[in-house]
Structure 1
């Protein structure tokens, strides 16, 4: 994919330098295509819920400690959002790192499960996750851009129908290459998830990493609770909806209490349901019940990083503003 971009760039330059007339136009077209399909690096995270080291020194210190345990370096910026998820990504030419923490997930985890979550995400760097690497990631992005530009025009005119027909074969070829690259990297990506789970257990203990898997099994329950909160605020009227985020402690406490009320047999039911659904070969993440079983199959490990109550409270204080903003965003805009 990157070779195609280079060829387009070189061909455009050659047509402009040594060509004339139609070749110049063709060269401009090649250059325009090269610019559109160039490898794009992620931009620096921006927004009100971006936390820098000065904003949350205790949280960054925890991330750095976990990173040292799993054999990598920490992150350059932390983004707090309303996703029921967490992720890491690289941005910029210097390969800086951003950690995204979804507060709805963070809030329902125990302190050691939070350490396990950090260990898992940072483990993607220490284990060399192929799909997170710059070359493969930008190649996938370039292919996606090709598919976007070759997408058929909706409700086409007579001329646009001809254009759709002309693009049909290139579009199928590009989609085929995208599917091929996707499947070639899926196995490595699924393997990287298991390795990242191992790093989570090293950092927080096997028990905490397995508990994190259990929480992930109930992500749908968290989403149902959040949607219920959104609907309740909407039914109460705009005035009540504006007041609700100001009581963020109550908002997050209700979510924590909701998850604490889930009985153990519901976790077991979710595991069995996952086992019945089987293993999806086209999923970037292996089934959660398999990840949990893999963690428990080996000898248990003790926690290398302990998040005590005092440290937990200091981190919670650093996240106070973000908790307010995320709660306001959930109540006002929903979760998706």
Structure 2
């Protein structure tokens, strides 16, 4: 132990190395919001001086947040905690995330708290807006909505997309977002495979926008059927969902905020049957909890859950009024079980085992189909 003590006493840090280490440490704070972090640490320092306290321990931090909780909501408390955690770690080398009582207090403040979230647009509302709103007035809004939904975009991401990020191919448009909040680029596509006119509308906007090819930003101001050379700002992007809601005569249009694009995209993706992993990949979320926070509780999901709970679970093959041809048994390991309405027919063609079976439906409505391994005899 004496040898270790002697080694510690011999440590010498030149001034140049000390300055370099300090610079690196200061750069650990987020670049965009660094001023907010420093402001929070300064406020904590002034509060500490007013209370004649020195240093950092759990009692001091707990008392600080107890006072803040009297005027701040739970979400704001967590935001202040996050900023203070980073700045205290950088400036005083103390990790307040280890303060168990503090974390328990913050969690207790969250009990019963309902955060305000942007309302979302349903698939029917999106289609109605795209089909009925006059392009002379709303073409820019349609293009922004299409891109925002296709890519689960944040409002600042929509602002930053440039012409270089757009790749128009024969059957689709591929868009890359190089700089995201999580520092990972995202790539998504716009197509008309679902029978919508999204691709047609986006290309129509691009034809007008390309007359100002010297401008790099994708979205330019649009009036009376023409684009001008002024780029669209973040506040305009954020106000578009509210204007769409007003056009559709939806209740409380002011609740449709700049997060509407991202939340609508996430909700529609999950509502169509995609799982949480696909959602996280689509939106670039690392946390499952954060990703779930963007999903609106859809009535379709609730109805499906009710059917599974109250409807007796998996349904068996329907009565003889429905028919299924002999090719329903496919390629050794696949068979089809069908539950269709009366007087309706299911036809399944038997293809090679190297291919996915081709299924043809004739006037089938409300049918339930299962694809799985054949039952053991």
TM-score of Structure 1 vs Structure 2, range by shorter chain: under 0.3
Question: Which structure has the highest helix share of the two?
Answer: 1
Q: Tell me the TM-score normalized by structure 2.
A: 0.20
Task: Point out which structure has higher relative CO (alpha carbons under 8 A, 6+ apart).
Answer: 1
Question: Which structure has the highest strand share of the two?
Answer: 2
